[in-house]
Structure 1
């Protein structure tokens, strides 16, 4: 893939600050400010990720202060009221943590973020130990890939693999991440697959498929005499 990012390990931040479950509230807020992040992974005594503390987890402390607890401490607010009373990462964190493995494809990581509505994911190994963190901005790095690099990969990994190197050349053009496929092929059944595979190439924004089948041969019987010697109308 010419070194292009395809999995989480390619784009994640390897140097990560994390908290222990006993980290104090003010230390958490201070760390977020110093590192310029809005969420921090929380580790147990063995170093495994057990939760995440975000700015949203800290806000109930201000929202549900002593003056408001009597007015807002209702059944629907139980979780936030509990966090308002918490003073350590263990009580504040959202758990279990939504995590991702280093080898997960970027598209899958993006879907996890969208589905869980989080801005970043701790990256963990099979034992749950923290390896890094991946953010929304990290996943967008793939779209900075050069158009020429994308075009070369589409030709090699999609066109050549599907249609062969000896077939009639098919055109591949890329502009601002948008791939355009042009040309004619006898293997028309493969055209939808070519479009799909081109979309999976890292950095591709969209695919415009203008591939068509071979030209229709002329009707050779037109104007020829029939069996009785008369010309066809």
Structure 2
């Protein structure tokens, strides 16, 4: 049955571990190890997200551990190497997303920020969950039958005047193939974009053609007039 566009809330992890800004360095490492995660959000006393601490934020501590390798005072990683609490080593402010955001929006946010996960917050910035790259890819696990049903639903709902006859929709491994005849071929790009918005669609192969023409049995007379013409 068609489910419509999914949101971050549908795929995110609702139970998420976080640390306070004053959490000590070793406690952060222990928390990551205990929960088998590579990053944790940093929150204040009201559970509002301040930033994110990842393994990359902690690594400068080991990188500059040798006495002969003190970080330059102005080096970007210097503060993290000297930091002792979550607030001192975190990356902030955090790049976040709302639970009602589309998966496409979350994916674009991740790509632009160059991050692997996003804390999910409400309108007040309070932590509600976390969404990762692997979460966003869950939509590609949808069965072909589910995708086909939703594609048909979208076509029937939004493009009622387009087909001359029902469009044949076939889905194989997420690739949607459309065949048949339509009244107006100028709308095919619109149809293709509509199908691509269905979650789980990998690609769209649009093999639709223009309307069928009745054969002209007497070329000298030109095309036959419409039945209602006088």
TM over 0.5: yes
SS of 1:45 mapped into structure 2? coil
Partner residue, 1:9:
9
1:1-233 alignment, distance < 5 Å: 2-3=2-3, 6-70=6-70, 72-73=71-72, 75=74, 78-164=75-161, 167-218=164-215, 222-223=219-220
For the 8 Å contact 1:69–1:81, the answer to whether it is kept is no
Deviation at 1:188, TM superposition (A): 1.9
Equivalenced residues, count: 221
Partner residue, 2:225:
none
Deviation at 1:45, TM superposition (A): 2.0
- Per the normalisation by structure 2, the TM-score is 0.89
Larger Cα Rg: Structure 1 or Structure 2? 1
For the 8 Å contact 2:58–2:89, the answer to whether it is kept is yes
For the 8 Å contact 1:162–1:190, the answer to whether it is kept is no
For the 8 Å contact 2:11–2:138, the answer to whether it is kept is yes
Deviation at 1:21, TM superposition (A): 0.4
Structure 1 segments unaligned to the other structure (5+ residues): 225-233
For the 8 Å contact 2:163–2:181, the answer to whether it is kept is no
**Structure 2: distance between partners of 1:185 and 1:2:** 23
Root-mean-square deviation (Å): 2.0
- Per the normalisation by structure 1, the TM-score is 0.88
**Structure 1: distance between partners of 2:161 and 2:213:** 22
Query: Structure 1, residues 17-54: CA drift from partner, whole Å, max 9, x if none?
Result: 00000101011011111111111000012220010000
CA spacing shift, 1:102–1:68, aligned 2, 3 Å: farther
Deviation at 1:64, TM superposition (A): 1.5
